[in-house]
Amino acid sequence: MKKRVTLVAPFYNESGNVLEFFQRVRQIADTMPQYEFEVVAVNDGSRDATWSELLQAQALHSGVHLVDLSRNFGKEAALTAGLDRATGDAVVPIDSDLQHPPELLPDMLAHWEKGAEVVLARRVDRQGDGLLQKLSAVSFYHFHNKISQVKVPLNVGDFRLMDRRVVDALRQLPENHRFMKGLFAWVGFRTVTIPYQPNERVAGVSSFNLWKLWNLALEGITSFSTVPLKIWSYVGLVVSLLALVYASVIVVKTLVFGIDTPGYASLMASVMFIGGVQLIGIGVLGEYVGRIYHEVKRRPVYLVREEHTTGSAAGVAEDRVERA
């Protein structure tokens, strides 16, 4: 039997990219007849014509599994929905805007056949990103890897090939707040890295902005490190020592020079400084408590509104979703 390769592609307002995406994937699949290709396309609550174009693509191409989520749950949830339904011996998360080139699949599969269980695709440059986005990305990776035991590879996104056993391991992780880059790194397995040059988007604009990237960074930091909580213990100790030193200076000055009229400005500066430190510490604590609050409710990561499965993968997909 042929080995099956599943591509997991989240779609969010990607009208204009859909048919081109499936055409490019089909062209690559036709050059590798030794594999059976399947595409799990997850519509993450798109508000444009993405879903209708996905239905059209399914009518034109075989081995297409469509999942329509009930609303926009975010890329991490859409990716999870796709991985839950992936039936392949090898699974490749890939962006639907074609910035992840499908032409890299033969190289990925060649490394997989040689024994690699994870094949990472590392961006060789970030020419398409603005200066602020480049700096923020590099800063996040360095900061995250400094404070976390789980190291996220620099310039490596979701684009990668994973062996079946890696996907099965990922599906055992129960958390609702899912920082997929961190989860990919956490499970480990034998890994190789290959470089690639990202393509330009075929149509549309990216839905990511600085606010979403900031929230994703917070998710990554709080999901894999408690260092921010520990830091505030040391900050509190330092502030307390400074306050003790300042109080000692005031006592000595009073004993030596007598009672001095207190200064309103210095008093207000001290109160505001200590109050600000306390509020920041409470805010950091609140980020962790908020994530605990969401986790203990045990809501599902996503909800499916509609699903269409065609081809021989249907029975396997239904069986794996039921066992999940």
Cβ contact 84:324 at 8 Å: yes
In tens, the pLDDT along 243-271 reads: 777 767 766 766 666 665 566 556 656 67
Q: Which residues contact 163 (CB under 8 A, 6 or more apart)?
A: 89, 90, 112, 116, 117, 118, 189
List strands edge to edge, sheet with 3-11: 191-196, 118-123, 156-163, 90-93, 3-11, 35-43, 64-69, 304-309
In tens, the pLDDT along 131-189 reads: 556 666 666 666 666 767 777 777 788 888 999 999 999 888 888 777 788 788 888 88
Q: What is the pTM of this model?
A: 0.68
pLDDT at 91: 92
